[in-house]
Amino acid sequence: MSQSPALAAERHPTAPARRGNANKRRQNRAAYLFILPFFLVFLTMLVIPLMYAGYLSLFESKLIGGEQFAWFANYIRAIQDSAFIGSLLRMGLFFIVQVPIMLGLALLFALALDSGRARGAKGVRLLVFMPYAVPAVVATLMWGYLYGPDFGPLAQVARAVGWGTPDFLSAGNILGSMMNIVTWEFVGYNMIIMYAALRAIPSDLYEAAEIDGAGQFRIAWSIKIPAIRPAIILTVIFSIIGTFQLFAEPSLLNAIAPDAITRSFTPNYYAYNLAFQNRELNYAASIAFLLGIVIAVLSYAFQLATERRERRALTETETPS
Amino acid sequence: MTSLETRAAVTVGAPKRARRAKAFDPEKRRSSLLTVLLWLGVAYFILPLWWLLVSSTKDNQALFTTFGLWFGGDFSFFENLQTLFTVRGGIFTRWLLNTVLYAGAAAVGATLLSAMAGYAFAKYDFPGRKALFSATLGAIMIPLTALALPTYLLFSQAGLTNTPWAIIIPSLVSPFGVYLMRVYSADAIPDELIEAARVDGAGEFRIFWQVGLRLLGPALVTVFLFALVGTWNNYFLPLIMLNSSDLYPITVGLAQLQAAANAGGGSQALFSTVITGSFISIVPLIIAFLFLQRYWQSGLATGSVKG
């Protein structure tokens, strides 16, 4: 220790208050300079594009007269657009089915690794995480080959066992096949977040329970999972955001399953097709804007719901740790 | 100075170290059942990558005729590599370099901006701090892909599409990085150290550069790696921003090669090229994660605990 604040103050015992104010001002100026670069790109790359999209979404391009101010016509069109609503509902279904599976697997892996009872835990952790480093494009290409009905290894194995050839790319199965790709990509990432939170639980929290003879499952359910609630909530919010903006997966699967992946399979893919196939920029902007609102509302509502539950739980048990 | 630095490092690493000693408790039984189940789970995550590795050693014909999960036919890995790096006048090298440039520049930039902002949020009490930090936190919720289209519209107004800037600048924004850096700075940089440096007459920027950054190691690696992955793996943004294939990153390039392979009905021997290219494209990131795991895992730990 070279200096403590107290010593530092002693060194200038007669420094006038004015000097302190000047220091404070200098520090504030430094702080603003530190945050300036971030907020510059924040403003230009986040706030202004959002505002611009909002602005564009209020116009309509007509064959005669060009761009015209149209109030909320694009939004009225969007909420009546069965393609857009359908894509949202499809992602809703995707979320309800895929996210619990993905996060459940991640939690199981994290708990198993944290229990310290498995051999080669370090290897497991790295290998499960590895798909996160694989671009969605490559993951989709790869699974596209694996799903292939003629030469894909999954079909080869199924035929060898006598199950016939499964059609992973049919209109009825494609959503499930996509869920599998996304699960494969992100279990490891979520596992790492949960595992890191588990490692940070002070072990005396459950050492007592262990001595009392509580089993590992009981400890996991009653102590560990409640303790990492914030981390779990974080993963759910990331999953809401991730699910509703899926793009690479449908756009690459479209090439090998053009009949199953419609141009409005996901909201983002729809916005892309509107903008670049139909050249309906204004309508695409309003779809992107609406999608952003839907995602923000969903994540906010989820946070609110968990906070309320937490508060109720706290008042009921009266044992906030 | 040195003693303070070690103290800070120990405070951050302490709970972990205590737990680790416990993991080797000889009284704890290892469970064979759990081990088997876990490694069966691992197979699901590894088999596709194994398939990719195996397939990159096959020529186009063996790809369609041999069993996918084992080697077969001639060993054509090097022929595939040669085709990959010579197809269309060696454009794959170009794509690879583009990706390295975009992802590298974006990751360095995003890490520096996040570190500066996070450090300021943690260590200075300036007017507007709360409001600005709340705005940053709120921005974590903004879906970046949904934002890509509006950004494209804006960039095309400014005539900046089809340039590297169109990929690098939007990738500099990392609200989660700022959040992580704030949490980590608050833990790892002792206030007394900053005060001491001030008393010694160091300027605020020099304190950040020489004292702050040094103590932020794991958080810097974490934000850098995740920004790197984010840009390296991005597909939507470069797809809409870039027109000329000379500027493509590897993701857009591979998707285009794959489309060509599908259109050619496989007659151009492109499938094995796409597969080898996919394999090559994931190797650098996997190596980066492997070698830096000690840093990013402890960096993430801090972020998720306080999250």
Q: What is the DSSP string of A263-310?
A: TTSSHHHHHHHHHHTS--HHHHHHHHHHHHHHHHHHHHHHHHHHHHHH
Q: Are residues A23 and A82 in the same domain?
A: no
**Residue among A249, A96, A91, A104 at smallest CA distance from A190:** A104
Instruction: Give the structural domain span for B196.
Output: 2-30+76-306
User: Which residue from A117, A197, A288 is facing B304, i.e. has the nearest CB?
Assistant: A197
Tell me the residues of chain B between 16 and 45 that have a Cβ less than 8 Å away from chain A.
Answer: 16, 18-19, 22-23, 25, 28-31, 34-35, 37-39, 41-42, 44-45
User: Which residue from A30, A41, A151 is facing B169, i.e. has the nearest CB?
Assistant: A41
User: Which residue from B119, B136, B153 is facing A56, i.e. has the nearest CB?
Assistant: B153
Mean pLDDT, chain A, integer: 85
CATH of the domain at A216: 1.10.3720.10
- Torsion angle, alpha carbons of A76, A79, A81, A84, to 10: 130
Asked if the Cβ–Cβ distance from B235 to A248 is below 8 Å, we say yes
C-alpha to C-alpha distance for B277 and B258, rounded to whole angstroms: 10
Interface-testing mutation among A11, A12, A24, A34, with chain B (most B C-beta atoms within 10 A): A34
Asked if the Cβ–Cβ distance from A196 to B205 is below 8 Å, we say no
Examine residue A65 and state whether it is found in any structural domain, yes or no. no
* pLDDT tens-place string over residues B39-70: 999 999 999 999 999 999 988 788 878 888 88
* pLDDT tens-place string over residues B214-254: 899 888 998 998 899 999 999 999 999 999 999 999 999 99
- Would you say the C-alpha torsion B18, B20, B24, B30 has a positive or negative sign? positive
Q: What is the amino acid identity at position A172? A: G
Q: What confidence score (pLDDT) does residue A158 get? A: 87
Smallest CA–CA distance, residue A278 to chain B, in Å, is: 14
Q: Are residues A110 and A243 in the same domain?
A: yes
Place of tokens 């894509």: A87
Q: What confidence score (pLDDT) does residue A65 get? A: 66
Examine the pLDDT at A2 and tell me if it is beyond 60. no
Q: What confidence score (pLDDT) does residue A250 get? A: 94
Q: Are residues A96 and A227 in the same domain?
A: yes
**Residue among A169, A143, A182 at smallest CA distance from B275:** A143
Tens digits of pLDDT across chain B (307 residues): 333 322 233 233 334 434 444 444 544 567 888 888 999 999 999 999 999 999 999 887 888 788 888 888 788 888 888 888 888 888 999 999 999 999 999 999 999 999 999 999 999 999 999 999 989 988 887 777 778 888 998 898 889 999 999 999 999 999 989 998 998 898 889 998 998 998 888 888 999 998 899 899 888 998 998 899 999 999 999 999 999 999 999 999 999 988 888 877 545 568 888 999 999 999 998 898 888 877 777 776 666 555 4
Q: What confidence score (pLDDT) does residue B209 get? A: 92
- Helices B191-199 & B2-23, crossing angle to 10 degrees? 170
Q: Are residues A122 and A38 in the same domain?
A: no
Q: What is the amino acid identity at position A184? A: W
Q: Are residues A311 and A209 in the same domain?
A: yes
Examine the pLDDT at A49 and tell me if it is beyond 50. yes
Q: What confidence score (pLDDT) does residue A67 get? A: 78
Confirm if A46 and B147 have CB atoms less than 8 A apart: yes
Q: What confidence score (pLDDT) does residue A319 get? A: 45
Overall number of domains in chain A: 2
Q: What confidence score (pLDDT) does residue A316 get? A: 62
CATH of the domain at B12: 1.10.3720.10
User: Which residue from A2, A109, A130 is facing B196, i.e. has the nearest CB?
Assistant: A2
Q: What is the pTM of this model?
A: 0.86
Counting one residue from chain A and one from chain B, the pairs whose CB atoms sit within 8 A come to: 314
Asked if the Cβ–Cβ distance from A3 to B68 is below 8 Å, we say no
Residues constituting chain B: 307
Asked if the Cβ–Cβ distance from A132 to B229 is below 8 Å, we say yes
Q: What confidence score (pLDDT) does residue B139 get? A: 83
Q: What is the amino acid identity at position B233? A: N
- Section A134-160 average pLDDT: 89
Overall number of domains in chain B: 1
Examine residue A69 and state whether it is found in any structural domain, yes or no. no
- Bridge partners (DSSP) listed for residue A62: A66
* 3 state SS of B49: helix
- Torsion angle, alpha carbons of A191, B232, B153, B255, to 10: -100
What phi-psi label fits residue A71: left (phi over 0), alpha (psi between -120 and 50 degrees) or beta?
Answer: left
Confirm if B179 and B118 have CB atoms less than 8 A apart: yes
Examine the pLDDT at A144 and tell me if it is beyond 60. yes
Examine residue A307 and state whether it is found in any structural domain, yes or no. yes
Cα–Cα separations (whole angstroms), residue B64 to A138, A292, B61, B111: 19, 43, 6, 44
**Exposed e or buried b for every residue in A191-224, given b needs 16+ CB within 10 A?**
bbbbbbbbbbbeeeebeeeeeeebebeebbeebb
Q: What confidence score (pLDDT) does residue B90 get? A: 86
Examine the pLDDT at A307 and tell me if it is beyond 50. yes
**Which residues fall within 8 angstroms of residue A274, CB to CB, at 6 or more apart?**
A280, A283, A284, A287
Q: Are residues A137 and A276 in the same domain?
A: yes
C-alpha to C-alpha distance for A37 and A286, rounded to whole angstroms: 29
**Residue among B190, B185, B191 at smallest CA distance from B115:** B185
Examine residue B63 and state whether it is found in any structural domain, yes or no. no
Instruction: Give the structural domain span for A239.
Output: 76-317
Cα–Cα separations (whole angstroms), residue A208 to A204, A205, B20, B168, B256: 7, 7, 18, 52, 59
Q: Are residues A135 and A280 in the same domain?
A: yes
Q: Are residues A14 and A84 in the same domain?
A: no
Place of tokens 């290892």: B30
Helices (H), chain A: 5-11, 17-42, 48-56, 73-80, 82-115, 121-129, 136-147, 153-161, 174-199, 204-211, 216-219, 225-227, 229-244, 248-256, 267-276, 281-317
User: Could you give the ipTM of this predicted complex?
Assistant: 0.84
- Section A197-218 average pLDDT: 82
Q: What confidence score (pLDDT) does residue A81 get? A: 93
Q: What confidence score (pLDDT) does residue B16 get? A: 42
Contacts of B189 in chain A (CB under 8 A): none
Examine residue A299 and state whether it is found in any structural domain, yes or no. yes
Q: Are residues A227 and A96 in the same domain?
A: yes
Q: Are residues A97 and A12 in the same domain?
A: no
- Bridge partners (DSSP) listed for residue A60: A68
C-alpha to C-alpha distance for A174 and A25, rounded to whole angstroms: 60
- Section A49-56 average pLDDT: 88
Asked if the Cβ–Cβ distance from B169 to A45 is below 8 Å, we say yes
Q: What confidence score (pLDDT) does residue A13 get? A: 45
Examine residue B122 and state whether it is found in any structural domain, yes or no. yes
Examine residue A46 and state whether it is found in any structural domain, yes or no. yes
> In chain B, whose CA is at the least distance from the CA of A47?
B139
Examine residue B54 and state whether it is found in any structural domain, yes or no. no
- Helices A229-244 & B293-306, crossing angle to 10 degrees? 100
Q: What confidence score (pLDDT) does residue A156 get? A: 85
Distance of CA B100 to the CA centre of its chain: 12
Examine residue B36 and state whether it is found in any structural domain, yes or no. no
- Section A25-40 average pLDDT: 92
Q: Are residues A225 and A184 in the same domain?
A: yes
Examine residue B40 and state whether it is found in any structural domain, yes or no. no
Q: What confidence score (pLDDT) does residue B11 get? A: 31
Asked if the Cβ–Cβ distance from A193 to B304 is below 8 Å, we say yes
Confirm if A195 and A106 have CB atoms less than 8 A apart: no
- B100 lies within 8 A of chain A by CB: no
Examine the pLDDT at A208 and tell me if it is beyond 70. yes
CA triple B205-B206-B210, angle to 5 deg? 125
Q: Are residues A201 and A280 in the same domain?
A: yes
Q: What confidence score (pLDDT) does residue A42 get? A: 92
Asked if the Cβ–Cβ distance from B153 to A53 is below 8 Å, we say yes
Interface-testing mutation among B54, B305, B306, with chain A (most A C-beta atoms within 10 A): B305
